[in-house]
Amino acid sequence: MKLKPEDIRLIREKYASVSAIRSGEGTRGKNIDLLVCAGTGCVSNHSLKVKAALIAEIEKHKLQDRIKVVTTGCNGFCANGPIVVVKPEDIFYQLLKPEDIPHLVEEHFLEGRPVERLMYRPGEGKPIPKMASIPFFGKQQLIALSNRGTVDPEKIEEYIALGGYQALAKALTEMSAEQVIEEIKASGLRGRGGAGFPTGKKWEFCRNARVVEDGDSAFAKYIICNADEGDPGAFMDRSIVESDPHALLEGMLIGAYAIGATHGFIYIRAEYPLALERLTQALEQAREYGLLGERILGSDFSFDITVSKGAGAFVCGEETSLIGSLEGKLPEPRVRPPYPAQYGYMGKPTNINNVETWANVPHIIIRGAEWFSAIGTDTSKGTKVFSLVGKVNNTGLVEVPMGITMREIVFDIGGGIPGGKRFKAVQTGGPSGGCIPESLLDTPVDYESLVQAGSIMGSGGMIVMDEDNCMVEVARYFISFTQQESCGKCTPCREGTWHMLNILEDITAGRGREGDIELLEKMGRQIKETALCGLGNTAPNPVLTTIRYFRDEYEAHIRDGRCPARVCKALITYSIDPVNCTGCTACAKNCPVACISGERKQTHVIDQDRCIKCGMCYSVCNFDAVRVE
């Protein structure tokens, strides 16, 4: 069935109960939706078994007419999965196992007593029944992720019921292409892939680009969605595609209409099988409804999308490398100018945005530029999705208004550092970003402030580190990543990052020399200045920021041969404190190289020559007798 604009409204009306229940307004009836999270995190913790148990139990009690089990995409609270949310009540159950389900169904749905034991509980506090009252969700503001956890990503009707494809209908029937671009420009939306280029301006460049006729290609202009999310610890784009694939498609459709593109590509990592599956399904459904293909919604606008799988090269996140890869060439960045807006895929004007940027577009068209630009700071509008990982209690995916402070993200939403440890730094922007220390925790999160602090917004990875992290080792880890992922085209990135890695390896191995800090600083600055693409231009950032904020740790390694965080193996020794040692033999039994000697009930001793510093003795000792220095 090919839809007309009015059909969008009719589908919405037909499925009105869906939006009523999910939004929490539908308390009139007795119908309940159980939203089972089926994001990658919850699925790997067996949420699909939980779902099967729910269905079986509901059928057992013959409740299936009243209670519907729905699978949704990622809720973001991945640390506490599997998650089930009861709508319209908004009761949040977490860490569910299939064996919890019979009790849960009986108590909650037959007896009307929600089960406290399965609810979220902050530290020692009381359980919090409602999802919206949990601090992790409370400070978030959802735009790109507005349907997360409430829409079944495999049903286009649900997306439409919750307001989807309305923006497309509005753009095609009420707005000219220029008006769409003006709206996006006025909204202040900037690229969410990291560089923060104004999206509306980018679209305008591409729209105004002259097409050079060469007869080679049927298509004049292209748009691309960059879903090649390669930062370690980042999963924003995966989550959007998994939980709300139609939001991405709708954003791309509006962009294609505004730019005048007839074909689009989604370049997505092959390592995201679930996202790929849902995306492919969404494309098929959109085609069935005539939302992709010829004469969309009865207009003159025709557009379709091809999905292309990446092969795991980090550099393909760089837009010109991505275009090369799409063309079947080596993924190598090209020198800009010319920009893709003039000379992109197959030499045609091409516009690339990342998943999150596209997903913001329908909301701006429906709710207006003014609404969007009221959120955020002077120069950074709207919200940003971050994946909050590392040494933080509530790991997961969060969407927050621009301008929120790092402290609010780490301590209010993230719930602080586990085990009462002390916060040390947060790495933003992935391996191309930098470490922000405690003294800058009140920095507002926006494009400019992060650059000023020596980091970047990046695509939104946020790795929290505590006192147990050695900042020299952190810098070594990130540069080893970029060094490995450097494509090797330009000299500074290929050779320079390798040299920086060698110097850092020397320092962490206790072979650092006086002057190495200045050497790293100068080399890092020169690589940033001379490298060809964004990968090389940012690769030294983790090193430069850790030197800027944690210089004393570098000095301790080099001058005193000491690793203050007791991480770098070459610089630490394990020994047994004779006062605390009870001679329980646990350490000796567990030592993999059998270098600990001592009789039962006698003080044990580590043979330093044979010790491999694995830390096993330290972790098995129950009497705090193993010392690390």
Would you tell me which residues interact with other proteins (CB under 8 A)?
313, 315, 330, 334-335, 337-338, 483-492, 494-499, 502-503, 515, 518-519, 522-523, 526, 529-532
Q: Smallest distance from the beta carbon of 234 to other proteins, in angstroms?
A: 21
Q: Decide: helix, strand or coil at residue 334.
A: coil
Q: Which of 494, 540, 415, 431 lies closest to 423, judged by CA?
A: 415
Q: Smallest distance from the beta carbon of 226 to other proteins, in angstroms?
A: 19
Q: Smallest distance from the beta carbon of 295 to other proteins, in angstroms?
A: 39
Q: Which is nearer to other proteins, 337 or 419 (CB)?
A: 337
Q: Smallest distance from the beta carbon of 489 to other proteins, in angstroms?
A: 5
Sheet with 84-87, edge to edge strand ranges = 67-72, 32-37, 84-87, 91-93
Q: Which is nearer to other proteins, 532 or 621 (CB)?
A: 532
Peptide bond into 492 cis (omega under 30): no
Name the residue with tokens 């080596």. 330
Q: Smallest distance from the beta carbon of 503 to other proteins, in angstroms?
A: 8
By residue count, the chain amounts to: 629
Contact 187, 382 (CB under 8 A): yes
Q: Smallest distance from the beta carbon of 517 to other proteins, in angstroms?
A: 10
CB burial of residue 127 (10 Å; 0-12, 13-18, 19+): middle
Q: Which is nearer to other proteins, 125 or 515 (CB)?
A: 515
Distance CA 405, CA 386 (A): 13
Distance CA 41, CA 36 (A): 12
Q: Which is nearer to other proteins, 146 or 321 (CB)?
A: 321
Query: What are 626's strand-pairing partners?
Result: 576
Q: Which is nearer to other proteins, 159 or 554 (CB)?
A: 554
Residue 311 CB neighbour total at 10 angstroms: 11
Q: Which two tokens stand for residue 365?
A: 């068209």
Q: Smallest distance from the beta carbon of 198 to other proteins, in angstroms?
A: 16
Q: Which of 533, 543, 463 lies closest to 508, judged by CA?
A: 543
Q: Smallest distance from the beta carbon of 191 to other proteins, in angstroms?
A: 20
DSSP character string of 315-349: GGGSHHHHHHHHTTS------SSSPTTTS-GGGS-
Q: Decide: helix, strand or coil at residue 551.
A: helix
Q: Which is nearer to other proteins, 16 or 311 (CB)?
A: 311
Q: Smallest distance from the beta carbon of 480 to other proteins, in angstroms?
A: 11
Q: CB within 8 A of 222, min separation 6: which ones?
A: 261, 263, 264, 265, 344, 345, 346, 348, 349, 350, 351
Q: Smallest distance from the beta carbon of 92 to other proteins, in angstroms?
A: 45
Helix locations, 61-123, DSSP H: 101-104
Q: Which is nearer to other proteins, 238 or 334 (CB)?
A: 334
Q: Which is nearer to other proteins, 27 or 502 (CB)?
A: 502
Distance CA 73, CA 54 (A): 17
Q: Which is nearer to other proteins, 283 or 493 (CB)?
A: 493
Q: Which is nearer to other proteins, 72 or 483 (CB)?
A: 483
For residue 11, the one-letter residue type is: I
CA angle 344, 350, 355 (to 5 degrees): 120
Q: Which is nearer to other proteins, 232 or 293 (CB)?
A: 232
Q: Smallest distance from the beta carbon of 521 to other proteins, in angstroms?
A: 9
End-to-end CA distance of the chain: 71
Name the residue with tokens 């139609």. 246
Distance CA 103, CA 96 (A): 12
